[in-house]
Amino acid sequence: MPTWSEILSEVSNLRKSDPNALDNVRRRYLKELSNYLQKPVILYATRWMDNPIASPIEVQIIWADKQAFMETVYGLRSKELMFIIHSPGGQIEATQSIIEYLRQKFDRITVVVPDAAMSAATLFALASDEVIMGKHSNLGPIDPQFVVTMPYGQVSISAQSVLEEFERAKEEVKKDRDSLLVWAPKIQQYPPGILEEARNALELTKKLGREWLVKYMFKGDADAEKKAERIVNYLSDHKELKSHATPISRDKLKELGLKITDLENDQNLQDLILSVYHITRITFQLTTAHKIVENSNGRAFIKLVLAGTPEKKA
Protein backbone atom coordinates (compact mmCIF):
# COMPACT_ATOMS: atom_id res chain seq x y z
CA MET A 1 0.00 0.00 0.00
CA PRO A 2 1.37 3.45 -0.87
CA THR A 3 1.60 5.63 2.21
CA TRP A 4 0.42 9.23 2.48
CA SER A 5 3.95 10.48 1.82
CA GLU A 6 4.41 8.18 -1.18
CA ILE A 7 1.14 9.35 -2.75
CA LEU A 8 2.12 12.96 -2.05
CA SER A 9 5.44 12.36 -3.79
CA GLU A 10 3.67 10.76 -6.76
CA VAL A 11 1.25 13.66 -7.12
CA SER A 12 3.99 16.28 -6.71
CA ASN A 13 5.92 14.75 -9.60
CA LEU A 14 2.85 14.41 -11.81
CA ARG A 15 1.71 18.01 -11.19
CA LYS A 16 4.85 19.28 -12.94
CA SER A 17 3.35 18.18 -16.25
CA ASP A 18 -0.31 17.54 -15.40
CA PRO A 19 -2.30 20.33 -13.70
CA ASN A 20 -5.15 17.87 -13.04
CA ALA A 21 -2.92 15.27 -11.35
CA LEU A 22 -4.76 15.42 -8.01
CA ASP A 23 -8.14 14.70 -9.60
CA ASN A 24 -6.72 12.06 -11.93
CA VAL A 25 -4.92 10.13 -9.19
CA ARG A 26 -7.93 10.27 -6.84
CA ARG A 27 -10.25 9.03 -9.58
CA ARG A 28 -7.84 6.28 -10.53
CA TYR A 29 -7.87 4.89 -6.99
CA LEU A 30 -11.67 5.16 -6.81
CA LYS A 31 -11.95 3.23 -10.08
CA GLU A 32 -9.52 0.55 -8.88
CA LEU A 33 -11.57 0.17 -5.70
CA SER A 34 -14.80 -0.16 -7.68
CA ASN A 35 -13.25 -2.74 -10.00
CA TYR A 36 -12.02 -4.77 -7.05
CA LEU A 37 -15.48 -4.74 -5.41
CA GLN A 38 -17.45 -5.07 -8.64
CA LYS A 39 -19.78 -2.34 -7.41
CA PRO A 40 -19.86 1.48 -7.60
CA VAL A 41 -18.25 3.69 -4.98
CA ILE A 42 -19.23 7.19 -3.87
CA LEU A 43 -16.85 9.33 -1.83
CA TYR A 44 -18.13 12.13 0.42
CA ALA A 45 -15.35 14.03 2.17
CA THR A 46 -14.84 17.51 3.54
CA ARG A 47 -11.89 19.64 4.61
CA TRP A 48 -12.76 19.59 8.33
CA MET A 49 -9.36 18.23 9.47
CA ASP A 50 -7.31 20.50 7.18
CA ASN A 51 -6.89 24.22 7.76
CA PRO A 52 -7.58 26.87 6.74
CA ILE A 53 -11.36 26.48 6.64
CA ALA A 54 -13.28 29.40 5.16
CA SER A 55 -16.38 28.83 7.30
CA PRO A 56 -17.74 25.96 9.45
CA ILE A 57 -20.74 25.60 7.17
CA GLU A 58 -18.49 24.88 4.17
CA VAL A 59 -17.41 21.53 5.67
CA GLN A 60 -20.78 20.40 7.02
CA ILE A 61 -23.58 18.32 5.52
CA ILE A 62 -26.03 20.87 4.12
CA TRP A 63 -29.04 20.91 1.81
CA ALA A 64 -26.90 21.97 -1.16
CA ASP A 65 -25.13 18.59 -0.94
CA LYS A 66 -28.27 16.95 -2.32
CA GLN A 67 -27.36 18.28 -5.76
CA ALA A 68 -23.91 16.71 -5.42
CA PHE A 69 -25.42 13.31 -4.63
CA MET A 70 -27.83 13.56 -7.54
CA GLU A 71 -24.85 14.24 -9.78
CA THR A 72 -22.80 11.31 -8.49
CA VAL A 73 -25.66 8.79 -8.33
CA TYR A 74 -26.61 9.52 -11.94
CA GLY A 75 -25.66 6.63 -14.23
CA LEU A 76 -24.97 4.08 -11.48
CA ARG A 77 -26.91 0.94 -12.41
CA SER A 78 -25.97 -1.36 -9.53
CA LYS A 79 -28.34 -1.83 -6.60
CA GLU A 80 -25.34 -2.08 -4.27
CA LEU A 81 -23.12 0.82 -3.20
CA MET A 82 -19.96 1.36 -1.21
CA PHE A 83 -20.11 4.79 0.41
CA ILE A 84 -16.94 6.32 1.87
CA ILE A 85 -17.54 9.16 4.32
CA HIS A 86 -15.19 11.58 6.06
CA SER A 87 -17.28 14.30 7.73
CA PRO A 88 -17.84 16.20 11.01
CA GLY A 89 -21.62 16.06 10.50
CA GLY A 90 -24.05 18.89 9.82
CA GLN A 91 -27.74 19.61 9.37
CA ILE A 92 -29.94 16.72 10.47
CA GLU A 93 -32.71 17.48 7.97
CA ALA A 94 -30.26 17.59 5.06
CA THR A 95 -28.70 14.34 6.26
CA GLN A 96 -32.15 12.73 6.45
CA SER A 97 -33.01 13.78 2.91
CA ILE A 98 -29.72 12.50 1.46
CA ILE A 99 -29.91 9.16 3.27
CA GLU A 100 -33.50 8.58 2.19
CA TYR A 101 -32.54 9.42 -1.39
CA LEU A 102 -29.64 6.94 -1.36
CA ARG A 103 -31.76 4.21 0.25
CA GLN A 104 -34.35 4.60 -2.52
CA LYS A 105 -31.64 4.14 -5.15
CA PHE A 106 -29.70 1.24 -3.58
CA ASP A 107 -30.88 -1.97 -1.93
CA ARG A 108 -27.62 -2.51 -0.05
CA ILE A 109 -25.22 0.16 1.19
CA THR A 110 -21.88 -0.50 2.85
CA VAL A 111 -20.53 2.57 4.67
CA VAL A 112 -16.77 2.92 5.03
CA VAL A 113 -15.23 5.16 7.68
CA PRO A 114 -11.53 5.52 6.80
CA ASP A 115 -10.96 7.96 9.67
CA ALA A 116 -13.99 9.62 11.30
CA ALA A 117 -17.68 10.29 10.68
CA MET A 118 -19.06 12.37 13.51
CA SER A 119 -22.41 13.75 14.65
CA ALA A 120 -24.98 13.64 11.82
CA ALA A 121 -22.44 11.79 9.66
CA THR A 122 -22.70 8.87 12.09
CA LEU A 123 -26.30 8.47 10.90
CA PHE A 124 -25.00 7.25 7.52
CA ALA A 125 -23.51 4.30 9.39
CA LEU A 126 -26.79 3.68 11.25
CA ALA A 127 -28.67 3.73 7.92
CA SER A 128 -26.34 1.20 6.28
CA ASP A 129 -26.43 -2.57 5.98
CA GLU A 130 -22.81 -2.87 7.10
CA VAL A 131 -20.02 -0.59 8.30
CA ILE A 132 -16.33 -1.07 7.52
CA MET A 133 -13.89 0.52 9.99
CA GLY A 134 -10.20 0.30 10.77
CA LYS A 135 -8.57 0.17 14.18
CA HIS A 136 -8.07 3.92 13.89
CA SER A 137 -11.64 4.74 12.75
CA ASN A 138 -14.28 6.49 14.83
CA LEU A 139 -17.93 7.39 14.83
CA GLY A 140 -19.28 10.07 17.16
CA PRO A 141 -22.24 11.07 19.33
CA ILE A 142 -25.39 11.68 17.24
CA ASP A 143 -25.77 15.22 18.50
CA PRO A 144 -26.70 17.55 15.60
CA GLN A 145 -24.84 20.81 15.10
CA PHE A 146 -25.98 24.36 14.47
CA VAL A 147 -24.01 27.03 12.66
CA VAL A 148 -24.79 30.22 14.57
CA THR A 149 -23.79 33.71 13.48
CA MET A 150 -22.21 35.53 16.41
CA PRO A 151 -20.85 39.10 16.50
CA TYR A 152 -17.37 37.67 15.86
CA GLY A 153 -18.43 35.37 13.01
CA GLN A 154 -19.99 31.96 12.40
CA VAL A 155 -19.45 29.22 14.96
CA SER A 156 -20.56 25.60 15.03
CA ILE A 157 -22.20 24.40 18.26
CA SER A 158 -23.99 21.20 19.24
CA ALA A 159 -27.69 21.06 20.03
CA GLN A 160 -26.96 19.38 23.36
CA SER A 161 -24.51 22.12 24.30
CA VAL A 162 -27.14 24.78 23.64
CA LEU A 163 -29.64 23.03 25.91
CA GLU A 164 -27.11 22.46 28.67
CA GLU A 165 -25.92 26.06 28.58
CA PHE A 166 -29.47 27.37 28.99
CA GLU A 167 -30.09 24.95 31.88
CA ARG A 168 -26.86 26.02 33.55
CA ALA A 169 -27.83 29.68 33.15
CA LYS A 170 -31.23 29.01 34.78
CA GLU A 171 -29.67 27.21 37.75
CA GLU A 172 -26.99 29.82 38.38
CA VAL A 173 -29.39 32.75 38.09
CA LYS A 174 -31.81 30.97 40.46
CA LYS A 175 -29.02 30.67 43.04
CA ASP A 176 -27.52 34.12 42.48
CA ARG A 177 -29.49 36.89 40.75
CA ASP A 178 -26.30 38.85 40.19
CA SER A 179 -25.09 36.15 37.77
CA LEU A 180 -27.74 37.42 35.36
CA LEU A 181 -25.32 40.23 34.52
CA VAL A 182 -22.93 37.59 33.19
CA TRP A 183 -25.45 35.33 31.50
CA ALA A 184 -27.79 37.85 29.86
CA PRO A 185 -25.33 39.17 27.22
CA LYS A 186 -24.23 35.63 26.41
CA ILE A 187 -27.73 34.19 25.99
CA GLN A 188 -28.87 37.20 23.96
CA GLN A 189 -26.36 36.27 21.25
CA TYR A 190 -28.39 33.17 20.35
CA PRO A 191 -31.11 33.56 17.69
CA PRO A 192 -34.79 33.31 18.75
CA GLY A 193 -36.20 29.80 18.81
CA ILE A 194 -32.88 28.00 19.01
CA LEU A 195 -33.86 26.14 22.21
CA GLU A 196 -36.88 24.53 20.56
CA GLU A 197 -34.90 23.81 17.42
CA ALA A 198 -32.20 22.10 19.46
CA ARG A 199 -34.74 19.91 21.28
CA ASN A 200 -36.50 18.97 18.06
CA ALA A 201 -33.23 18.20 16.28
CA LEU A 202 -32.13 15.87 19.07
CA GLU A 203 -35.43 14.00 19.10
CA LEU A 204 -35.48 13.71 15.31
CA THR A 205 -31.93 12.36 15.29
CA LYS A 206 -32.75 9.61 17.78
CA LYS A 207 -35.98 8.74 15.98
CA LEU A 208 -34.24 8.40 12.61
CA GLY A 209 -31.37 6.39 14.05
CA ARG A 210 -33.76 3.85 15.58
CA GLU A 211 -35.91 3.59 12.45
CA TRP A 212 -32.98 3.10 10.06
CA LEU A 213 -31.26 0.49 12.22
CA VAL A 214 -34.47 -1.56 12.40
CA LYS A 215 -35.20 -1.17 8.68
CA TYR A 216 -31.72 -1.88 7.29
CA MET A 217 -28.91 -3.23 9.49
CA PHE A 218 -31.19 -5.32 11.72
CA LYS A 219 -33.79 -6.20 9.10
CA GLY A 220 -35.41 -9.52 10.02
CA ASP A 221 -33.84 -9.59 13.49
CA ALA A 222 -36.38 -10.44 16.21
CA ASP A 223 -34.52 -8.14 18.63
CA ALA A 224 -34.09 -5.30 16.13
CA GLU A 225 -35.95 -2.68 18.12
CA LYS A 226 -34.15 -3.47 21.39
CA LYS A 227 -30.75 -3.37 19.66
CA ALA A 228 -31.58 -0.11 17.91
CA GLU A 229 -32.80 1.46 21.16
CA ARG A 230 -29.62 0.47 23.01
CA ILE A 231 -27.35 1.85 20.29
CA VAL A 232 -29.19 5.14 19.87
CA ASN A 233 -29.48 5.70 23.62
CA TYR A 234 -25.72 5.31 24.03
CA LEU A 235 -24.82 7.49 21.02
CA SER A 236 -27.08 10.28 22.29
CA ASP A 237 -26.07 10.07 25.96
CA HIS A 238 -24.24 13.35 26.50
CA LYS A 239 -23.64 12.65 30.19
CA GLU A 240 -21.84 9.40 29.32
CA LEU A 241 -19.92 10.66 26.28
CA LYS A 242 -19.19 14.12 27.79
CA SER A 243 -18.24 15.85 24.52
CA HIS A 244 -19.82 16.35 21.13
CA ALA A 245 -16.44 15.37 19.64
CA THR A 246 -15.94 12.19 21.68
CA PRO A 247 -14.49 9.49 19.37
CA ILE A 248 -16.29 6.15 19.65
CA SER A 249 -14.08 3.22 18.75
CA ARG A 250 -14.78 0.25 16.53
CA ASP A 251 -14.62 -2.12 19.51
CA LYS A 252 -17.19 -0.12 21.47
CA LEU A 253 -19.52 0.00 18.47
CA LYS A 254 -19.24 -3.77 18.05
CA GLU A 255 -20.01 -4.18 21.75
CA LEU A 256 -23.16 -2.11 21.24
CA GLY A 257 -24.22 -4.49 18.47
CA LEU A 258 -23.51 -2.65 15.23
CA LYS A 259 -22.59 -4.85 12.26
CA ILE A 260 -18.99 -3.83 11.66
CA THR A 261 -16.38 -5.48 9.47
CA ASP A 262 -12.70 -4.87 10.21
CA LEU A 263 -10.93 -3.03 7.42
CA GLU A 264 -7.83 -5.12 8.12
CA ASN A 265 -9.63 -8.36 7.17
CA ASP A 266 -8.90 -7.77 3.48
CA GLN A 267 -5.43 -6.32 2.80
CA ASN A 268 -6.23 -5.38 -0.81
CA LEU A 269 -9.41 -3.60 0.22
CA GLN A 270 -7.60 -1.78 3.02
CA ASP A 271 -4.88 -0.63 0.63
CA LEU A 272 -7.37 0.73 -1.90
CA ILE A 273 -9.61 2.48 0.65
CA LEU A 274 -6.70 4.13 2.45
CA SER A 275 -5.19 5.20 -0.87
CA VAL A 276 -8.48 6.94 -1.72
CA TYR A 277 -8.47 8.55 1.72
CA HIS A 278 -4.83 9.70 1.50
CA ILE A 279 -5.21 11.32 -1.91
CA THR A 280 -8.45 12.99 -0.77
CA ARG A 281 -6.74 14.55 2.25
CA ILE A 282 -3.81 15.60 0.04
CA THR A 283 -6.30 17.29 -2.30
CA PHE A 284 -7.58 19.38 0.62
CA GLN A 285 -4.04 20.18 1.75
CA LEU A 286 -2.84 21.35 -1.67
CA THR A 287 -5.95 23.16 -2.95
CA THR A 288 -8.84 25.33 -1.74
CA ALA A 289 -11.31 22.42 -2.06
CA HIS A 290 -13.65 22.21 0.92
CA LYS A 291 -15.89 19.34 -0.18
CA ILE A 292 -15.53 16.43 -2.59
CA VAL A 293 -18.45 14.25 -3.65
CA GLU A 294 -17.27 11.86 -6.35
CA ASN A 295 -18.12 8.48 -7.80
CA SER A 296 -15.95 5.72 -9.24
CA ASN A 297 -17.02 6.61 -12.79
CA GLY A 298 -15.39 10.03 -12.54
CA ARG A 299 -18.52 12.12 -11.97
CA ALA A 300 -17.70 14.68 -9.32
CA PHE A 301 -19.00 17.69 -7.46
CA ILE A 302 -16.10 19.59 -5.89
CA LYS A 303 -16.63 22.73 -3.85
CA LEU A 304 -13.81 25.25 -3.97
CA VAL A 305 -13.72 28.30 -1.74
CA LEU A 306 -11.68 31.14 -3.20
CA ALA A 307 -11.28 34.44 -1.35
CA GLY A 308 -14.41 33.73 0.65
CA THR A 309 -16.51 32.95 -2.44
CA PRO A 310 -17.72 29.35 -2.93
CA GLU A 311 -17.16 27.97 -6.40
CA LYS A 312 -18.01 24.56 -7.79
CA LYS A 313 -16.52 22.43 -10.52
CA ALA A 314 -17.43 19.10 -11.99
pLDDT digits (tens, 9 = 90+) for 91-103: 899 999 999 999 9
pLDDT greater than 70 at residue 79 = yes
User: From CA 109, how far away is CA 100, in angstroms rounded?
Assistant: 12
Q: Which amino acid is at 77?
A: R
From CA 113, how far away is CA 125, in angstroms rounded? 8
pLDDT (tens digit per residue) in 203-257:
999 999 999 999 999 999 999 999 999 999 999 987 788 887 899 999 999 999 9
Q: Using a cut of 0.95, tell me whether the model's pTM lies above it.
A: no
Question: For 119-147, what is the mean pLDDT?
Answer: 93
In angstroms, the CA 77 to CA 54 distance is: 36
Instruction: Reply yes or no on domain 4-145+202-313 having CATH 3.30.70.1400.
Output: no
Q: Which residue has the higher pLDDT, 149 or 49?
A: 49
Q: pLDDT digit string (tens) for 167-192? A: 889 999 999 988 888 888 888 878 88
- Number of other residues whose CB lies within 10 A of the CB of residue 313: 10
The region of weakest confidence among 51-65, 96-110, 299-313 is 299-313
Domain boundaries, the chain: 4-145+202-313
Over the stretch 267-289, which tens digit does the pLDDT of each residue have?
A: 999 999 999 999 999 999 999 99
| pLDDT value of residue 181 | 87
Give the percent of the chain with pLDDT over 90.
73
Half-sphere exposure of 72 (CA within 13 A, CB side): 30
